[in-house]
Chains A and B, each alone.
Chain A
């Protein structure tokens, strides 16, 4: 059944390692990563903060700090809708988002929600972005 297959694909897309994410290209973490961490720590006092530079999986030069995935766990999120939580994260990182950070995948959870599923997901594979020209397969 095609739909069932698509459903499985969708669920696995959020969790499988479809893009190499070992972070080997930026083992030390660059300045943007450090800034993101610092600002989220300050703004949200998170219980858990997991940050991954996913730039290596996208059409950008090696060593870039343009695509990130972050899991922020904070009791400040209690009672907030996903939209409100994401906006809070955006507000903390407004400078980075106006600057070098091109993509930010966010998991914003309360401590209880995080305990149910304590993992940083992986992002779907890059499809080339604006560098992909029309007509190519």
Chain B
């Protein structure tokens, strides 16, 4: 029986929600898999939250420099409420998300259910202002807008 997505649920961290990190485990809504349903479940997973990232490690303790870069960029923009899945906790998730996204590496970033890219693309979006715009479309106001306004006063 494929319990990988249940394990993925257990690896979910809702950053910034409640005390410390790591709250929000129950009610994730990820069904236990029947065979062949992994793509469906990952589809549900990436659409469940506006910002979804697949990392090596956690936002509190990233275990990869590239995954850490994603965490730091989101932090810079003040994005607190995002779903983070630790692929190191679950080998089936680690391979499954690569198959689902058709992307060979981790980290992976989804915005509004749509695959955006990895660390390089997110960094590019951060540097050229696209990330602020994409977050705005999701109703998330980047913290860097306020900082920019502050600096120009």
Residue ranges of A at the interface with B (Cβ–Cβ < 8 Å): 1, 3-4, 6-7, 9-11, 13-14, 82-83, 86-87, 90, 94, 97-98, 102-107, 123-130, 132, 134
Contacts and interface: CB of A to CB of B under 8 A. Distances in A.
A7 B68 contact: no
Contacts of A11: 127
Contacts of B21: none
Contacts of A13: 69, 72
A98 B102 CA distance: 12
Nearest to B124: A82
Majority-rule SS of A interface residues:
helix
Interface string B65-93: 11111001101100000000000100000
A14 B123 contact: yes
Contact of A124 (B69, B115, B116, B126): B69
Chain B interface size band reads 35 or more
Contact of A105 (B56, B62, B66, B143): B66
Interface in B96-118: 102-105, 115-118
Contacts of A6: 72, 75-76
A133 to B, nearest CB: 10
